[in-house]
Structure 1
Amino acid sequence: MPIRRRRHDEEPDNNLDVAREQADAVETDDAPAGGAGDATGPWDVADAFPELDRLDFGSLRIPVGPGLGFQVNFEATEVDAQGNPVNGRPVAVLVQHAESVLQIQAFAAPKRSGIWDEIRRETATEITEQAQGQAEDRPGPFGTELLAMVPAQLTQEMLNEMPPEVREQIPQEVIDQGYAWQPVRFIGVDGPRWFLQGVVQGAAVEDEEQWQVLEDVFRNIVVVRGEQPMPPRELLPLSLPKEFTEAAQQAQQGEGEGGETFDPFERGPEITEVR
């Protein structure tokens, strides 16, 4: 007997393992092959998606789970007289797991056509021609994805900040050339009037165990496109969850008690962005 999709008003699940078991059991005869709308996600807010604990970033609702950390990248909108950013907008969510990072962004897309194929070709061209790296398409759990090797700058300052046991593992010839090849994995899903992109760095590019955790996160994202008209490729607006706001308030209070100052522009590097 086929198992029906889960309704929003049913008893919620509280972890990604349960969501994966549900997705494996859901019948997919009425869903398109691959991408958003598939019975295994990622999901549009109008879908009957599994109920999990998720952080609400406005246009993105991202599941939480054991061993996951979250950061937000900001883009400066104003600078002070010294050129330091003083105001900004959130532009990407970073999910951290062990030695791996998944950057997540959602963009507006045309109503009747996807943009992942075009963006993937443009990204590959930028990597190979401008960054002098390597890129190739390959099949993945969300359809065609892009696997790239890009040169990552390796400065003396970065080397000095590394733990000695880590630096000792870097070959001298790599230190001498000033850069190291870094694998990056680009995944994309075309949804109804939106496009969801994930960029994976770190061990999860090759380590199946770490990748499985990030895959479950990406698969259970819910995208809230909204009804407002937006040109294709425009970033869907992000907002900070109440959990982030509370953490910022605590950090600001700690400043007066000798604690660290909360600075959103130090939350982590930008991995990539859709142009």
Structure 2
Amino acid sequence: MTSTELTPESVPRAHGMPMLGLGTWENEDPNQCADSVRTALEMGYRHIDTAQAYGNEGAVGDGIAAADVDRDEIFLATKVWISNLDYEDVLETTQESLDRLGTDYLDLLYVHWPSRTYEPGSTLEAFDELYEEGTIRNIGVSNFEPRHIDEAREHLDAPIFANQVETHPMLQQRELREYGREHDIEIVAYSPLARGDVFEIDVLSEIAEKHGVSEAQVSLAWLRENDVTAIPKATSEAHIQDNWESLTLELDEADLRQIDSIDRTRRKVDPGFAPW
């Protein structure tokens, strides 16, 4: 398959979620954010990820409105921030997110971190309520360790659809991936390019040269081969296109073994309130 043959229908899906999406963390300039979302959607992306904490839900909504793509073709996700996880705040701020995004439903709503105002009973009761009324179509968690997911599953009536965590060749998240397989929970990788560090790893550079592609494409293809959905941030059309073309890259068994054997760990997102 060549890049010109790529269509939205050719993107692999995990229970309806496209396995390549556009991340928008730190895409703070409203015009740039809206333009990158529009560019991605018109290129063929159908998965857009944002969060209350990113401060750009309005711009994301503008990009969606500007694109010549029907809303029901887009898998749209946002996250409730750690200061908004009381029962009433979940309900109120989710409606505010909907208003900013210009939509009346979300395909996926995450608990951003199990921190600060997060209390499994009351927080997840609100998520269940939103799910039951159809405001959200799937419930997700983000930055959860297995023990947090075990606890959440005890409180939720609805299933947990996904756990969004930092995942890339230098933070391979084997335990969480295995947990996801056992419990039918998708892993969604944020910072899948390790915030640019993938370009500094010799193994990835060698594989990229072998295939005539970028290290970014190698990292994204490795994630896909491991059943992980990736949401790389990109703002320029060139980077959005390069990530898109990762869908045409097929890594061989030797490539996968080499990447699996990378023995360094680089966690790029590690705030003081993190649960690990």
Range of TM-score over shorter length: under 0.3
Over alpha carbons, which structure has the higher Rg? 1
More helix by share: 2
Q: Larger relative CO (CA 8 A, sep 6+): 1 or 2? A: 1
Report which of the two has the higher share of strand: 1
